[in-house]
Chains A and B, each alone.
Chain A
Amino acid sequence: MSINRRKFFKAIGVTGMTVIGFTSSASPGSKDEDTEFHGVLYDSSICIGCQACEKACAKAHDLPVPEDELQAGVLRKTSEVQRCVVNSYETSQGEVYVRNQCMHCNEPACASACLTQAMYKTKEGPVIWREDKCMGCRYCMISCPFDVPKFDYNSINPKIQKCDMCYDRIVQGEKPVCVETCGDALFFGTRRELIAEARKRIAEWPEMYVDKIYGEAVAGGTGYLYLAPVPHTELGFNKQLQNSSYPSLTKSFLYSVPSVFVLVPTLLLGIHEATKSKQNKNENHD
């Protein structure tokens, strides 16, 4: 039933949009076919939890260098002063480290939520935050399924803090600071290369990995991809997240808007005219 409804809205919505010339409300996911998003492959099986990436990240972005040590069972979180964290989990395979930061979704919920395009999916792949456009409404925080954007509540000119995959460096052809700092656990490339690399690692050392690349499908695919020696559910990942993209959840609503704008006023005017003529008749009879 819902598919029919959606199809119906899509058909009507597209018609309506061409009528009003409202084509700009197309979803942010509709990119050119030849665009190659860049991303980072994180390999839990190699990561030793040295936190060098955390420190390099903090230095590169003028943030306080994190001092707290990793401890299994203690969940550290990204915050308004920390863009990435490494956490330690006690698993069936012993202690495993996991790095958390913005996932740089292919179709980011935050960017589709942002009413000023302050959250923006660049054609290179990183999802960046543009301060001059942001209103500080925090709708990106409501929408992000990974709870990534962090807001500085104690500032009178607050910033949204999140990993931007060192976008400035990427446009200059350099790697992100964390990848530059890390030995082998972080690997930078186009998303296509990363998936090929991850598959190769799983095939070559099957005893080291579970046969799954986290991020390949979740939330419609993400720029950060994860390899791990244990199922990802043991590593603090939210297992309820859907595999289709999050902006698609609001698509049917947004597509219905143009049709509502055409149909409702017409209907109202029609009813108005209908009731008017009836009234006039009554008056004449009186």
Chain B
Amino acid sequence: MTSPAYPVTNEKQNQSIWKFIFSELKPRGKWLTPFNVISIPIILAGLVLMVIRFTHGLGAVSNVTQEVPWGLWKGFNVVTGVAFAGGAYVLTFIVYILKVEKYHSIIRVTVLNGFLAYLFYAGALVLDLGKPWNIFNPLIGNSFGASSVLFLVAWHFVLYIFAQLIEFSPAIAEWLGTRRAHKILSGLTLGAVIFGITLSTLHQSGLGALFLMAKEKIHPLWYSEFIPLLFLISSVFAGLSMVILEGSISQKVFSNQLTDKNRQERKNIVHSLSKICAFGMFAYFFMHILVFVHGQHYDLLTTPMGYWYLLEMIGFVLVPMILYFYSYRNTNILLTKIAAVITILGIILNRLNVSIIAFRWDAATHYVPSWMEIVVSISIILIQIWIFRWVINRMPVLGNSPSWAKHN
């Protein structure tokens, strides 16, 4: 109904759409911000190291060994990063399936975050692959390793990127001002959401299931047949903690895009997210206790790895869980943010423990990432933040949609 009403403007927009995109590509605002000053040199260094990686082989940059073949790029950028992208599927579930409208205002930014995160984890993966030109082998051709957990994860990864793109696409349509596309794409949202949640549950747990065959290689305090379930549960509060942290940063950085009403709304959202996190962490902690009791490794608690395990479980699960409960009871937003930061550190610790630190903890030579690996890891995240900022400054993500796009 909308399109016949504005046929002329539509055509005009179509003609100038490339010009419009080109003009939007140009940077805006001040150049010499502290973030730019710090991030630009790191990104440049990272890009140089990526070139070295492809011209001299993985070993020239990375410290990975024959015993610990997955280093920081997989353990941190892929395995840890995916957990933090979990906020997208949890929030789409709450908003589109349970219809809790109060979270609607943060859904776009969360989906955008998830989408970019996945895109860049795929990038980190390409860096880490020995033969990246064969990356499409599991997707096309006759090379389906269907008995592989990684095959499953790879497919879900690709499909979920598309699902998230569809979920986010109405914002792109609003930015470009294409009304008909907006209508079509908005109609696809529910399907993409249902598909996306299903894919997420499977590959969040699938990332844990990757380590099921490394039964003797992972320290018994971290290995159990329940790794997939633990990864899935923890992705819920990992993702939401990231939403809380990212929200509090965006609120400061992009404050010009928010109205006072938005701000108040966001406080309420953070407040109720802290409750979801608290209960999620309680389930996770309880599950860990069950697994621990079931595993009967009491004697291992007094070894150095045991202390390390207790630090993770108490310092980075139990403590933030209590903080979340407490901050919810007292409506203390600052405390919620502190809990979110500790939770995020705890998830990093947990994923690195499973994939790197407790993996072949008994090997003669331990894997310690080189400075070059760390620089590349950080620059991948920084590039992601740059693109995030570019999108936020141009598309209706944090702020309100143009009036013509208001549905209902």
Contacts and interface: CB of A to CB of B under 8 A. Distances in A.
Contact of A241 (B69, B96, B146, B216): B216
B198 to A, nearest CB: 4
Nearest to B126: A135
Contacts of B98: 271, 275
Contacts of B217: 142, 145
A26 B138 contact: no
Contacts of A242: 215-216
B33 interface: no
Given A238-B216, A268-B198, A276 B99 contact: yes
B99 A112 contact: no
A265 to B, nearest CB: 5
Contacts of B137: 116, 133, 135
Contacts of A112: 147-148, 213
A145 B129 CA distance: 21
A282 to B, nearest CB: 11
B202 interface: yes
A25 B147 contact: yes
Interface string A250-286: 1011100100110011001101100110010000000
Interface residues of A, number: 63
A107 to B, nearest CB: 10
Interface stretch (A47-55, A148-156, A168-176): A148-156
A139 B79 CA distance: 13
A136 B345 CA distance: 30
Interface residues of B, number: 61
Given A25-B147, A133-B143, A154 B129 contact: no
B150 interface: yes
29 contacts: A22-B146, A24-B144, A24-B146, A25-B146, A115-B148, A115-B150, A115-B151, A116-B137, A135-B135, A135-B138, A137-B150, A139-B150, A141-B69, A143-B213, A145-B213, A147-B66, A147-B67, A152-B57, A156-B55, A158-B58, A241-B216, A242-B216, A247-B213, A250-B209, A261-B202, A264-B201, A265-B195, A268-B194, A272-B96
Interface of A: 2, 22, 24-28, 77, 79-80, 109, 112-118, 132-139, 141-143, 145, 147, 150-158, 238, 240-242, 246-247, 249-250, 252-254, 257, 260-261, 264-265, 268-269, 271-272, 275-276, 279
